[in-house]
Structure 1
Amino acid sequence: MTEHLTRTAPATARVRPSLWRSRSFLLLWSGQTVSEIGTRVSGVAVPLLAADTLGASVFQISLLTFLAWLPYLIFSLPAGILADRVDQRRLMIACDLGRAALLLSLPVVALVGHLTLVFLYVVVGLSGVLTVAFTVAYRSMLPRLVPAEQLVDGNAKLVTSQQFAELAGPTLSGALIALVGAARTFLTTGLSFAVSAVTLLLIRATPDAAPPAAGRVTVRAALGEGLGFVRRQPILVKLLACTTTSNFFVMAASAIEVPFLRRELHASPLVIGLLFSAGAVGGLVAGALADRLSRRIGTARIIWVAMAAPGPLYLLIPLARPGWGVLLFAVGFSAFSANAVLFNVAAMSYRQRITPAPLLGRVNAAFLWICYGVIPLGALLGGTLGSQLGLRPALWICVLGMWSAAVFVVCSPLRRMRDFPPVGDVTRTS
């Protein structure tokens, strides 16, 4: 996208102000980096708390993933309407504070000896509801903070933070669990959301932070507008199908990865954290190079290349063995991390550029409703396959399914494009 516009723009338009000088973006970026680390800490701590402290079965552990993602299926579309009608920054602050309170309740309840699997389910489910509202507002807010030609760079920086969190968070989680136990580890996660809320509070409100258009239509019409816009954009439909398929099988794998590492490969909590951190290296490198790679390879071409090329390396995940063989898991996970970063940066930037600002919350919500809505179903599939077939055979099915998602973008108009057309031509050519 940026490459195509640079070629056709006058020379004076090539100089772009650096995002390093944008106070609002830097506050958003720093807050998200801290909260992403906290999220990755809890991502390891939750299943280990259930497995080791509460003695949960493989299927019971998979239910935690199911409950964390179920709110996307139920609340995404209403959250899109909310994000288009209220101040998105204030909505994000409220969600951060709510998630901080929920997660800080875990060590308190554990301290008094009343922590149960049911209580953990409730905390995970309610946190998921707040995460849905936060995510919709977060993805709709970025275009209000940075110019359109810098969306790829902005998204790349934010995704790089996610990958840094993937690198540091699991290792930190494993170390904290080993030192203070799984329940007390949630003090770190709760405080990270509080830090995110403070950074958002310091962002200066943008003039168009609460677009009024959504308030002039009924709820039913507002819901239909987001889905209708997606249906009218063939490229968005292909991206949605690819993301949905990938998410379904990724979360099926995620629901059983920790039990696989713990029970099949006999990895300790610290080793599990190190493996996930090592696997995040691919995504961290891809995030740092995403803007450059998208301009060199092509903003359209990079989508299907990123989805198809790393696929064979996914097969190393179920091939992992105890001992040094666990490194195969890290290599396969690293390949997927690189894929996810490059694909997400390009696809998200395209969606943000072509969608009218007053409609962006509902379009993002429509995507989340479908491509995240299948995640709890994927988690249930992973738990069922792991229970019925065994953890390793279940992982084979999952990684092959992950790779199959590339078919939607390889067999699409993207295959014949190098770059996306200029913003004004998108609706005619896509």
Structure 2
Amino acid sequence: MSGPAKPPRTLLHERGFRSFFLAHSVSQFGDRISELAFPLLAVLILDATPAQVSVLTALVWLPNLTAVFLGAWVDRQARKKRLLVAADLIRGGLLLTVPVAFAFDAGTLAQLYVVALLTGAASVLFDTTYPAFFVLLVNRSQYLAANSALSGSRSLSFIAGPALGGALVQTLTAPVAMLVDAVSFLASALGIGRIRVTHATGDEGGPGTARLWRQAWDGLRFTLGHPVLRASLACATTSNYFTFMFVTLLVLFASRTLDIPAGLLGLALGAGALGGLLGAVAAPRLSARIGIGRSIVIGAVVFPAPIALVAVADGPLWLRTVLVGGAQFISALGVMLFDVNLNTLKAAVIPDALRSRVVGAYSTINYGVRPLGALTGGALGTWLGLRPTLWIAAIGGTMCVLWLLPSPIPAVRSLEHLDGPDQIQPHLTTTGP
């Protein structure tokens, strides 16, 4: 008589994925701390204006405009892991300069601008390399589970990270909080460096190699020609433009207009991020019930709409704080429903040979619009005021769903559907949404 059946191995039992998961989690926690500490450093210590804060945010995302070319270059590299480690080490070293400079009373807004720009460039390198590395670690059948796990750790970081960041800023100052993020990148580099993967053979150049610009164009052409990628890109770009009008002004609005202390603001953002954890856990179950495509549509609406709650925030301190935290909760829930399912769908429809090129092209447009959104938020915040700008962000962001409705995405129920005779194919002659 045979013994009891062994329980199936989960992804976290796989050594490679577990190492990546832990490295990713540590880095995400550090990011959440600096995302609060960085603008608070500019606002509270350097007395930055709305326009200056918007420039700081814009510089972080400006390097994404080069992603279309960087993605083509990454596709030609054999050792993707080395690129991830290098990106983490660069970001950790750059962030380390901030607490050192402020320790000697030498920190300036100009330095923050430089650090923001260069860390943003290193992040583009990491993000364009990540998808190609991801498929080396995870089987296709486990894409949804892997994205759910990684998004879950990211959501946890949004819960504890802002609260820890707010406490560090309030008790030990913002530069010390930046030091924590620098250490997290170094820890991430160490964790990723320990992973053993079998890399595909890279095409690093030679007489028969196509020009870099041609490879970049191939990635852009495939992205704009594929009905799923084209519609999702238009949706995400619209959402990013308007939500970054909000992201740019959130800390400034909460600290100056709503007069919420740094520690309490961190707690509100952290508590609100519980919605992200709920969304990451619920995304696979919801997609199994209603389909991947419909989950993406719901997430596209639920993500930007709660900005309106922040726009109307007023009254006693507890109510202002609850409205900010509640908006974050609903928004985080929406972005997880959107991201987990969309990342899974994208991983299924992008060919291996084009992954970094397509991600680079996608990021150039999707993330490249974020600096424009940030600068628009700063300009409108100065011209119209902060509350009217938040209303514009809420309404405009919600309109992003209009790109999805006529596309094939709402009808996609599962990845198995894509493997059948009705598999969605790209139309490479199409050049725009």
Smaller-chain TM-score range? over 0.9
Q: Which of the numbers 60, 73, 79 marks the counterpart of 1:82?
A: 73
Do structure 1's residue 261 and structure 2's residue 263 form an aligned pair?
no
Q: Distance in 2 between matches of 1:311 and 1:136?
A: 25
Q: Answer whether contact 1:354 1:423 (CA < 8 A) is retained.
A: no
Q: Secondary structure at the match of 2:174?
A: coil
User: Offset at 1:315?
Assistant: 2.1
Matches within 5 A, 1:152-301: 152-208=144-200, 210-212=201-203, 216-301=209-294
Confirm or deny: 8 A CA contact 1:214 1:358 kept in the other structure.
no
Alignment of 1:18-37 (within 5 A): 18-37=10-29
Question: Which range is displaced more, 402-411 or 146-155?
Answer: 402-411
Aligned identity (percent) is: 35
* In 2: Cα distance, 1:51 partner to 1:281 partner: 27
Residue identity opposite 2:242 in structure 1: F
Instruction: Give the match for residue 387 of structure 2.
Output: 392
When normalised by structure 2's length, the TM-score is: 0.91
Give the match for residue 311 of structure 2.
318
2:62 maps to which residue? 70
- Report deviation, 1:245: 0.3
Q: Is 1:319–1:329's contact at 8 Å kept on the other side of the alignment?
A: no
1:335 aligns with 2:330: yes
Report Cα offsets for 1:21-76 as digits up to 9, x if no partner.
Answer: 21111111110110011111010111110011111111101111010000101x21
| Alignment CA distance shift 1:62-1:205 (3 Å) | same
| TM-score, length-scaled by structure 1 | 0.92
Distance 2:374 2:288 in 1: 36
Determine the structure 2 residue equivalent to 1:422.
Answer: 418
Distance in structure 1 (CA, Å) of the matches to 2:214 and 2:8 = 38
Q: CA deviation at 1:305?
A: 2.3
Q: Which amino acid aligns with 2:328?
A: F
Distance in structure 1 (CA, Å) of the matches to 2:136 and 2:188? 18
| 2:102 alignment partner AA | A
Q: Which structure 1 residue ranges, 5 or more long, are not aligned?
A: 1-14
Q: 1:17 to 1:62 in 2, by over 3 A?
A: same
- Structure 1 residue 399: deviation in Å? 1.1
Q: Bigger shift: 311-320 or 36-45? A: 311-320
**1:429 CA drift (Å):** 8.6
The 3 A distance-change label for structure 1 pair 243 and 194 is: same
Distance in structure 2 (CA, Å) of the matches to 1:17 and 1:217: 42
2: CA distance, partners of 1:148 / 1:17: 16
* TM-fit CA distance, 1:190: 0.5
Once structures 1 and 2 are overlaid, which stretch shifts more, 244-253 or 312-321?
312-321
Contact 2:298 2:337 in 1 (8 A): no
Counterpart code for 1:358: A
Question: What is the aligned residue count?
Answer: 414
After superposition, the C-alpha distances for 1:298-343 in whole angstroms (9 at most, x for unaligned) are: 1222111222356654421211125122211211221111111111
Offset, 1:205: 2.6
Q: Matched residues in 2 for 1:16 and 1:219: separation?
A: 44
Are the equivalent residues in 1 in contact too, given 2:283–2:295 (CA < 8 A)?
A: no
Aligned partner of 1:3 in structure 2 is none
Cα pair 2:239 2:304 within 8 Å, conserved: no
What is the DSSP-based 3-state SS (H/G/I as helix, E as strand, rest coil) of the residue aligned with 1:194? Answer: helix
1:41 corresponds in structure 2 to 33
Q: Which amino acid aligns with 1:198?
A: L
Question: Could you tell me which amino acid in structure 2 is paired with residue 78 of structure 1?
Answer: F
1:404 to partner: Cα distance: 1.0
Structure 1 residue 182, shift from structure 2 partner? 0.8
CA RMSD in angstroms, aligned pairs only? 1.9
Counterpart CA distance in 1 for 2:385 and 2:398 is: 21
Unaligned runs of 5+ in 2: 1-6, 428-433
Q: Is the 8 A contact 1:214 1:222 kept in 2?
A: no
Give distance in 2, aligned partners of 1:154 and 1:292.
14
- CA distance in 2 between partners of 1:69 and 1:424 (Å): 38
Structure 1 residues 129 and 207, CA gap change in structure 2 (3 angstroms): closer
Confirm whether residue 369 of structure 1 aligns to residue 364 of structure 2: yes
